[in-house]
A and B are shown apart, each in its own frame.
Chain A
């Protein structure tokens, strides 16, 4: 009946102290925050790489198209977020990419 005698509680730290409790599966599975690295250009939506417009060593300016990603029936120009040089191209034309997959690395 009462579950209060159960042993083995987890501990949860909150603003108001540390509490004995149980964690939910959803809480345990939560994604930790990841700091964004502007030098790694990732696919914001899943799709197919239609065209790659840069090669390693290319100098790019902010706003230049790095590649074209076909997703949700649209051709999306993926732009460089900064002025720099292409360090690596991580996806090829025709390749299916998942959301969050790195496409181009800049430096």
Chain B
């Protein structure tokens, strides 16, 4: 008799487990799930499945219960407290992940919900693996009051501690408003999806009441605005599947943590379609797409752009050279002549710091005519924003390889990882023009009196511009001073960079002791 009872007990217990598990896994139930899908969104579990290698997800804390006591919350059951956490694999490499479940109390963040997130963050930090957070939440769980705010604070603190230690990725797949936006803002890369992502500090209603502006959610903080105008987000996808593909691709370029080097892939030659000589226009006044130059340099012509839609006058992204991940920065003459302005400076500086933190060598392609003039730039603080580029490059101790393609004028020349900011290798194409100013500007100043006093000032201006161009608009003056290590034909660029990467592999550079620097934030 006793034995039979034990067996029954075992069966019951197993049955109870599956029953509990399936109830919790149903999230907010069929109705809420249908609503989620009707709005074009995947469920939290579908998202995790789409992000990770098939079958690789292991969940933590499925049976965590919420801590709300007031306003009738004590009797309510919230499956998994509205957030799914755990670890899984991306191309066989471990990552930690959490996904807020909008079907459970609108994905609202209560105390235990936050504790599940901070637990998986702590885990990622300790194990040295990337953390990926999928945000889809109405915000703080108001019934839990200040405990909900405490939860956010704990997340932000960990985001800051983890910064530069493990790659942190945020995915915005629904609303992410108010204080909640600050977790993504503290992470390294933010992914958004058209028509689904919404980020703002204060929503359209508050904006209308307080400021009197009428603006839709999409226009105020939709995906496009975030990637194009605000620059808060780094990657834009048309749908969720595309977004998860982008995340997997990004992760493939990154190391698991700052304790490791990024995985080296099998080297591949660039595609035949990208022949560097054919990409350079004969007329030096015609801009080229610097991304094509990048594609002519990196393995398989595979260049994965970061912040593609923001400040297009600068280009940042990842590629591989002879299998090794590099961070590429380039001035993009196709837009705004490739000037540095506030947005481009922010974009470059942040990218450089990410690469430095994670040991990713930097390749900088220089084609810069200078800074963007204008009251909006000066009043917007282009001085302090521009200074971030100088700071980031000077601070970076990873291998720094610079190629000057065409223009390198004035402060822009210094800022774009010049020899003076301790580039390890500076190459210049024969088409490089390294000078304190462009010929037109310089001639107007140096030869002002000759030009003004000439019978034909315009003719004299042309003569003097040519004189200056012949003398200074080339790489040889800088090469004569040793500021350029080698003038190379464009066709040898990839081989030169590959060599530089080999030489710099075990680079060591001493820095003065300090707690941390004070960059011009």
List residues of A whose CB falls within 8 A of some B CB: 1-4, 9, 12, 14-27, 30-33, 46, 72, 96-99
Could you list which residues of chain B lie within 8 angstroms of chain A, going by C-beta atoms?
A: 210-213, 228-229, 273-274, 279, 281, 285-289, 292, 311-313, 333-339, 343, 369-376, 379, 407, 409-410, 437-441
CA–CA, A32 to B375, complex, Å?
7
B211, A99: Cβ atoms under 8 Å?
A: yes
User: How many angstroms from the CA of A72 to the CA of B202 in the assembled complex?
Assistant: 14
Contact A16 B343 (CB under 8 A): no
Q: Does B437 contact A16, Cβ atoms closer than 8 Å?
A: yes
Indicate if the CB atoms of A14 and B337 lie closer than 8 Å: yes
In the complex, which of the residues A17, A25, A98 contacts B440, with contact meaning CB atoms closer than 8 Å?
Answer: A17
CB-contact partner of A1 in B212, B273, B281, B313, under 8 A? B273
> Could you list 16 A-B pairs, sorted by A, with CB under 8 Å?
A3-B292, A4-B288, A12-B339, A15-B371, A16-B370, A16-B409, A16-B437, A19-B287, A19-B369, A21-B334, A21-B338, A24-B335, A26-B229, A33-B376, A98-B213, A99-B212
Question: A18 CA to B313 CA in the complex, in Å?
Answer: 16
CB A107 to nearest CB in B, in angstroms, measures: 27
Q: By the criterion CB–CB under 8 Å, are B288 and A15 in contact? A: no
Known: A20-B286, A21-B337, A27-B336. A46 touches B313 (CB 8 A): no
Closest to B343 in A: A26
Q: In the bound complex, do residue B292 and residue A98 qualify as a contact, i.e. CB atoms below 8 Å apart?
A: no
* A42 CB, min distance to chain B CBs, angstroms: 14
Binding site secondary structure of chain A = loop
Shortest C-beta distance, A38 to chain B (Å), equals 19
B333 touches A1 (CB 8 A): no
Q: Which residues of B contact A19 (CB under 8 A)?
A: 285, 287, 333, 337, 369
Contact of B285 among A20, A23, A46, A72 (CB under 8 A): A20
Tell me if A17 and B369 are in contact (CB < 8 A): yes
Closest chain A CB from B169 CB (angstroms) = 26
Q: Return A18 CB to nearest CB of chain B, in Å.
A: 8
Least distance between B304 CB and chain A CB atoms (Å): 17
Question: Which residues of A have CB within 8 Å of B289?
Answer: 2-4
B287–A4 touching, CB < 8 Å: yes
Contact of A16 among B213, B286, B292, B440 (CB under 8 A): B440
CB distance from A7 to the nearest CB of B (A): 10
A100 to chain B, nearest CB (A): 11
Q: How far is it, in angstroms, between the C-alpha of A96 and the C-alpha of B211 when the chains are bound? A: 9
A71 and chain B: residue at smallest CB distance: B210
